């Protein structure tokens, strides 16, 4: 399989269709063959954003993870599973509700929490960040992204799943340093450059549209996808989902370099809703953003009817823009509008779907003039 080839295989469900579709995917792509993985330390990286059940389409489906683990073990790989969820402090709940903990236990493979296994400092293209120790020490990464919309980057799939290689609070710190979508996109590109060889197998049987990556709507997409090039895979997904690849911050400047050759089944997705307007902030020069901030913004809105005042959003905010309304902690969190950087961290961790990322009227108008993308 050439590096920029993306293999697509139809898959109707996680019950009867998944196993034969997975076998076809590997056979036709020639990825993860025995000679490629035997004796190697392979870290499987699912998307475990937060503690949601598989039917909510927020995380990689555990049935898909199980098939990957079994294949790698049968091929002679030394397998582990690891991630750094946004709800890392509640890792037991994440493993239980997503079904991933049960799969790891039943398949007798260790789950490694990136917050507890040390880090390696990296400096790439002007970006300083840490890489989780298990990621840096692996011989190969098998990334299992869930295909979803994203309130900051419009799409989250193969490339964005690799941002989870940065452990715990360090991700939050990076959001504070690089809140603009284009800067954040370049950071994600830089992280990819220091990773071990990575194979991406995307779970697009049921994805998420709308207010993703955690609070959108499940949507039947009906396929699996694979590539040794995560950028090529995400560009192919953009084509399938009717998204302009150049509007996805982490794909900017790479569309021609990673133009994919799509092989396998043809799939059609009639419509796929993505959040409005966030990527348009990248069109505003950084020096003008402070002046334009009054009319160009993306920020959270909390639904008082749904919020249970759990405090997760307050802990997740990298710039302390959310706070308890009074000393007793009563009422929904209050937003300091001038402090908010629109990173959507609070939106990602809300367990009730009470937070929506809203765009200013000017951004919505700009999106309407730009057209559907």
Q: Is residue 284 part of a domain?
A: yes
Are 105 and 247 found together in one domain?
yes
Distance CA 146, CA 136 (A): 22
Domain final residue, candidates 208, 239, 264: 264
Q: Which residue has the tokens 């398949």?
A: 107
Query: Tens-digit pLDDT profile for the chain (373 aa)?
Result: 445 899 999 999 999 999 999 999 999 999 999 999 999 999 999 999 999 999 999 999 999 999 999 999 999 999 999 999 876 668 999 999 999 999 999 999 999 999 888 899 999 999 999 999 999 999 999 999 999 999 889 999 999 999 999 997 788 889 889 988 889 999 999 999 999 999 999 999 999 999 999 999 999 999 999 999 999 999 999 999 999 999 899 999 999 889 999 999 999 999 999 986 555 565 555 555 555 666 678 889 999 999 998 899 998 998 999 998 776 666 789 999 989 888 888 988 898 889 988 888 877 776 555 544 4
What DSSP line would sit under 100-163, residue for residue?
HHHHHHHHT--EEEGGGS-EEEEEETTEEEEEEHHHHH-SEEEEEPEEEEETTTEEESHHHHGG
Are 143 and 197 found together in one domain?
yes
For residue 362, say if its preceding peptide bond is cis, omega within 30 degrees of 0: no
Classify residue 228 by burial, with Cβ atoms within 10 Å: 0-12, 13-18, 19+: buried
Could you give the 3-state DSSP secondary structure of residue 370? helix
Domain final residue, candidates 236, 264, 292: 264
What is the domain range of residue 311?
278-370
**144 contacts: CB under 8 Å, gap ≥ 6:** 44, 45, 46, 47, 60, 64, 65, 68, 161, 200, 201, 202, 203
Closest CA to 48 of 89, 71, 82: 82
**22 contacts: CB under 8 Å, gap ≥ 6:** 11, 64, 67, 68, 71, 224
| CA 293, chain centre distance (Å) | 27
Q: Is residue 270 part of a domain?
A: no
pLDDT score at 372: 44
- Would you tell me the crossing angle of helices 181-193 and 168-177 to the nearest 10 degrees? 140
Q: Is residue 269 part of a domain?
A: no
pLDDT score at 217: 96
Domain final residue, candidates 230, 264, 298: 264
Per the CB < 8 A criterion, the answer to whether 342 and 297 are in contact is yes
Q: Is residue 138 part of a domain?
A: yes
Distance CA 56, CA 210 (A): 13
Q: Is residue 288 part of a domain?
A: yes
Are 312 and 248 found together in one domain?
no
The tokens describing 286, both together, are 């950084």
Are 323 and 197 found together in one domain?
no
Q: For residue 265, what is the DSSP state?
A: -
Q: Is residue 34 part of a domain?
A: yes
The tokens describing 350, both together, are 């809300």
Are 97 and 143 found together in one domain?
yes
Are 322 and 232 found together in one domain?
no
Q: Where are the beta strands (DSSP E) in the chain?
A: 5-10, 41-46, 78-83, 111-113, 119-124, 127-132, 140-144, 146-150, 154-156, 198-209, 217-227, 261-264, 298-302, 322-323, 334-335, 355-359
Q: Is residue 298 part of a domain?
A: yes
The tokens describing 340, both together, are 């908010």
CATH assignment of the domain containing 124: 3.40.50.11440
Return the sign of the alpha-carbon dihedral for residues 238, 3, 113, 186. negative
Q: Domain count of the chain?
A: 2
Count of alpha carbons within 13 angstroms of residue 185, beta-carbon side? 24
pLDDT score at 284: 57
The predicted model scores a pTM of: 0.91
Are 299 and 190 found together in one domain?
no
Report CA-CA distances (Å) from 293 to 243, 275, 287, 355: 26, 19, 11, 21
pLDDT score at 172: 84
Are 260 and 287 found together in one domain?
no
CATH assignment of the domain containing 303: 3.30.70.20
Are 307 and 231 found together in one domain?
no
Q: Is residue 271 part of a domain?
A: no
Are 88 and 58 found together in one domain?
yes
Are 232 and 293 found together in one domain?
no
Are 33 and 83 found together in one domain?
yes
Q: In the beta sheet, which residues pair with residue 80?
A: 43
Report CA-CA distances (Å) from 39 to 1, 138, 353: 22, 12, 43
Q: Which residue has the tokens 């598989």?
A: 54
């Amino acid at each position: 399989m050439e590096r920029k080839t993306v293999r697509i295989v139809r898959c109707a469900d996680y019950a009867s269709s998944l196993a034969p579709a997975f076998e076809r995917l590997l056979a036709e792509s020639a990825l993860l063959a025995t000679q490629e993985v035997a004796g190697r330390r392979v870290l499987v990286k699912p998307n475990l954003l937060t503690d949601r059940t598989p039917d909510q389409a927020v995380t990689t489906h555990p049935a898909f993870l199980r098939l990957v683990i079994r294949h790698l073990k049968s091929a002679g790989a030394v397998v582990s599973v690891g991630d750094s969820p946004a709800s890392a402090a509640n890792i037991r709940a994440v493993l239980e509700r997503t079904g991933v903990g049960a799969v790891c236990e039943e398949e007798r493979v260790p789950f490694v929490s990136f917050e507890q296994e040390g880090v390696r400092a990296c400096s790439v293209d002007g970006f300083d960040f840490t890489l989780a120790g298990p990621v840096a020490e692996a011989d190969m990464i098998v990334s299992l992204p869930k295909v979803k919309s994203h309130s900051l980057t419009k799409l989250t799939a193969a490339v964005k799943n690799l941002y989870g290689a940065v452990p715990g609070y360090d991700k939050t710190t990076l959001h504070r340093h690089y809140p603009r979508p284009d800067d954040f996109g370049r950071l994600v590109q830089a992280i990819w450059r220091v990773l071990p060889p990575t194979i991406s197998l995307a779970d697009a049987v049921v994805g998420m549209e709308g207010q993703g990556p955690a609070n959108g709507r499940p949507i039947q997409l009906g396929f699996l996808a694979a590539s040794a090039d995560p950028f090529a895979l995400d560009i192919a997904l953009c084509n399938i989902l009717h998204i302009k690849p150049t509007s996805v911050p982490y794909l900017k400047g790479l569309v021609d370099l990673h133009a994919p050759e799509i092989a396998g089944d043809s799939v059609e997705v009639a419509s796929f809703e993505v959040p409005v307007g966030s990527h348009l902030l990248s069109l505003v020069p950084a020096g003008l953003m402070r002046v334009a901030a009054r009319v160009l913004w993306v920020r959270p809105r909390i639904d008082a009817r749904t919020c249970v005042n759990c405090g997760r959003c307050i802990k997740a905010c990298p710039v302390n823009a959310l706070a308890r309304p009074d000393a007793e902690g009563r009422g929904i969190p209050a937003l300091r509008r001038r402090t908010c950087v629109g990173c959507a961290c609070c939106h990602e961790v809300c367990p009730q779907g009470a937070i929506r990322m809203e765009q200013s009227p000017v951004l919505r108008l700009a999106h309407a003039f730009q057209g559907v993308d």
